[in-house]
Amino acid sequence: MSAAPARRSWRPTRPNYRDQAFVVRSHKLGEADLILVLLTREHGVVRGVAKGIRKTKSRFGSRLDRFSRVDVQLYPGRNLANITDAATVATYAAAIVADPDRYFAGVAMLEMSQYFGAAEGAGQAVFTYLDAALARLAGPEGDLPPVCVADGFVLRCLEETGWMPSLVDCSQCGKPGPHRAFHPAAGGAVCVTCRPPGSATPPPQAVRLLWLLWQGRLGTAETVAREPGIAAAAHQLLVSHVRHQVDVPATAYGSL
């Protein structure tokens, strides 16, 4: 009597889907493929492989550039999704890559969007903030420095993920401010009573600039950012806060 054939284990297939996405990071795989880290509108951060994308005859390789919002077809896999199609929805690349300051600010925002977009429930908001920030970065050149565009994006993401620094009231006791001292590990502004050792005493306009960017008051922010050293001081405060509170290296963002 012959043995019964082995039973195949049944595995439910996960449906493929389309979503809008930004390419936030890429890694070479083999001779022709790329592993892409995508920030998607509906599915957060997704890692996928685009097969053959580095071949000169690739059907959609040029559409999966950074600084472009694309509509992608994804087939979920055990570890990586399979990216089989991409169509450009909006591209901001030309204006961003043409200017070094805009380019590095854009790279920094892509870096930070990977961290924030992975937070539970935050992906859709981070996607929306990134889209708006890249559009502003690529828009007609104004008086708001690219580093301030990046800082405004990061502030919105910090608020969305619960890591927003206190920019007015004391982060420890809630005493109404503004206060002169700022301590990243303490959560932002601190009063004279709660001020920990090692607190910074930044220029008041630097903290005000962060508040204006967070509030979206960009006209006033442009004026404040023109004051010598203020935009740089504000940026360093925010970088320190991100590294202490979110515990990420923020390599590109910290290099602005």
User: Using CA atoms, how far apart are residues 90 and 94, in angstroms rounded to an integer?
Assistant: 11
Distances, alpha carbon 132 to alpha carbons 78, 125, 144, 150, in Å: 32, 11, 15, 11
Q: What is the pLDDT of residue 10?
A: 44
Q: What is the pLDDT of residue 237?
A: 96
Per-residue pLDDT of the chain (256 residues; tens, 9 = 90+): 455 555 555 454 568 889 999 999 887 777 777 888 999 999 999 998 888 676 656 666 667 788 999 998 888 888 888 888 888 899 999 999 999 999 999 999 999 999 999 999 999 999 999 999 999 999 886 679 999 999 999 999 999 999 999 999 999 999 998 999 999 999 999 999 999 999 999 999 999 999 999 999 999 999 999 999 999 999 999 999 999 998 888 999 999 9
User: Using CA atoms, how far apart are residues 166 and 177, in angstroms rounded to an integer?
Assistant: 10
Distances, alpha carbon 235 to alpha carbons 60, 85, 158, 204, 210, in Å: 37, 38, 14, 13, 8
Could you please state the CATH topology (level 3) that the domain comprising 94-254 is classified under. de novo design (two linked rop proteins) (1.20.1440)
User: Using CA atoms, how far apart are residues 182 and 232, in angstroms rounded to an integer?
Assistant: 15
Q: What is the pTM of this model?
A: 0.89
Three-class secondary structure of residue 235 per DSSP = helix
Token readout for 47 is: 């890692």
For domain 17-91, the CATH superfamily is: Nucleic acid-binding proteins (2.40.50.140)
User: Using CA atoms, how far apart are residues 252 and 242, in angstroms rounded to an integer?
Assistant: 13
Establish how many alpha carbons lie within 13 A of residue 195's alpha carbon, considering only the half-sphere containing its beta carbon: 12
Domain with CATH 1.20.1440 in the chain: 94-254
Domain with CATH 2.40.50.140 in the chain: 17-91
Q: Cα-flanking dihedrals φ and ψ of residue 124, to 5°? A: -65, -40
| Sign for the pseudo-dihedral over CA of 132, 133, 138, 139 | positive
